[in-house]
Structure 1
Amino acid sequence: MSLSPSALPFDDIRNLVRAMPGPDEAAVEAVRARDRQLTKPAGSLGRLEELAEWLAAWSGNPVPKVTRPLVAIFATNHGVAARGVSAFPAEVTRQMVENFAAGGAAINQICAANDLGLKIFDLALDMPTPCITEEDALDEANCAATMAYGMEAIAGGTDLLCLGEMGIANTTVAAAVLNGLFGGAAADWVGPGTGVDGAGLERKRQAVELAISRLGSAAADPLEVLRKVGGREIAAMAGAILAARLQRTPVIVDGFVATAAAAVLYRMDESALDHCLFGHVSAEPAHRRALGRMGKTALLDLGMRLGEGTGAALAAGLVKAAAQVHAGMATFATAGVSEKSAD
């Protein structure tokens, strides 16, 4: 992939955010009307019923379905890894991308179990971004180009987009982004990531603190926070989320790092994530804090912190089931089942 300057400057991104469509209320009402006729007590499927409504709202389909689900993993490297903020060396990013391609990772197995498509996007793996403690991760042109690349990633067509990432040291970068967007102390946003503790955790905290000290007045602009202390995978995922909204494609966001990408759009417009479901709450402590700051509740809480889109892919299985249940169940009339007696 070549990250050449883009014709999509930040002002155009802001215009796209302002142009985002809202939910299809007619499709939602159609789902509710059919749900009242299905062979079950009202509300008995709990959140599965809400998932069917969510799919209808953001796909515009009054009989929601999932036939082309896609897990998109964006992979890149970060200069801040050289500060010893991860339990693994930077070369593991490339090695794991090769593992994805060979079908040997956890995400491959979850995709196989749930019949999900999988695409891996290499974001200049051999060119790590500068260390965010000393330099901006990206200039405006390259940040916008990377967001545009993420927007184009779903051009092949999908009706449910699941976002994941791979990048050694990217929990440090995500912590810096979230700290820049929501404030507080660096320690509020730093966690063990791939398994650091003690001295490694302190190095992460110091790195985030130094990165945030460079923001200055840029902290008021979410896109500036993204380009200064973010990374390519975070920019690409933010672009993919925005493109999905414009194309009426529901999105499932994975864990801590993917949530940092979503948070950039949230800080631009608090309705920007209405088409997104947060697949799981990570064991990374600050993920729960980030979800709380955005008023979001994750679908699953399994103590996971792997990344790779694994939590989003597991949640996609439930979303697929919700769509199938709604579309496939018989109604009281067609099944010849007696309805609830009137009071």
Structure 2
Amino acid sequence: MHARLIDSTLREGSQAVVPYLSCDQKAAVIAGLGRIGVEEIELGHAVTELAYGSEPLAELMAIAARTAPGARRAIWCRARAQDIRTAAALGPEVVSFALPISDRHLATRLHKDRSWALDQIGRLVGVAREAGVGYVSIGLEDATRADPGFLAEVSACAQVAGADRLRIPDTVGICSPAQLAQLVRSVKAHFGAQLGVHVHNDFGMATAGAVAALEAGADWADVSVLGLGERAGISRLEEVAAWLSLRAGCHYDLLAARQTAEMLSGWVSRPIGAQDPVIGSGIFTAESGLHVAGLAADPANYEPYPPELVGAKRSLRIGRNSGRAAVAAIVPEAGDELLTMTARVRAEAARRDRALSPEELQALREDCARRPA
């Protein structure tokens, strides 16, 4: 699988209802993305440049060139000629414009029809080329709710226009991974250049959807750190990068992903849950007797990857559900006192209503040694 990631933390993530990032914080995020090894960074909206002048994005462009030289720089804009020219003037490697193609969006947002949308594709790709854009990406907004026949027509039109990439957004997160994979295969039948996906997480399927799309032949998947974005966000960078690195032979720095997520978490007041995949502090902590004994025998019994790969540590606990095998794994010196030790562990953990700390366990071990049953 030759999968690549577009990070949209500074574009899609800026649409989340969170504290705004300063330029210095954005610079730190860009540097983190450079260390992770994402292939493309979406630095922001051209519409912001129209409203506030060119300095903020121009500065981010320069920062990205210095601190993430391995990543292509991309600017997002609306399907408007002036937006595209503004984006192109900044000199990014990629300009992406978003064109709604569902009947709902065309009619209620833009008061346009399908013919108008088809006309825009060739016209706006031409505007981008005239402005010097080397790589033109078209986001087909609300593609998963568009008429399948019209989506095919749009894809063929983009092929004729010479677009370099189509992005299929699941704008409201309603597509199952299997449905998204089928959509990717369908679009590829009409569009021979590169294909990307932008998956929202409204039903908790964004990471699975991105992976399924990549397995089905998509070349790119949009992600953001912590999944930051509208509503429930989009595919999480740390999750997709970890799966691609550990299961699909890609190479991303997962320790850098963890560090960048932890850094951003504090700035945007989005705490990382202890059980959050890949970066949660508790995902390598086990108390169940069966799991503790199995992990002690061979960590691969109950871990999909070693904790060190994501900058974590394994922690084995024993408590009221622990059996002799688990206690023996954690306290191998228990020896003849194993039965007594196990009973004492269960009773003490039940009394405290939690697993025992290493210090409490050691004190219990010493007490058992002094007063065997």
TM-score (norm 2): 0.28
* RCO higher in structure (CA 8 A, sep ≥6): 1
Q: Which has the larger radius of gyration?
A: 2
TM-score (norm 1): 0.30
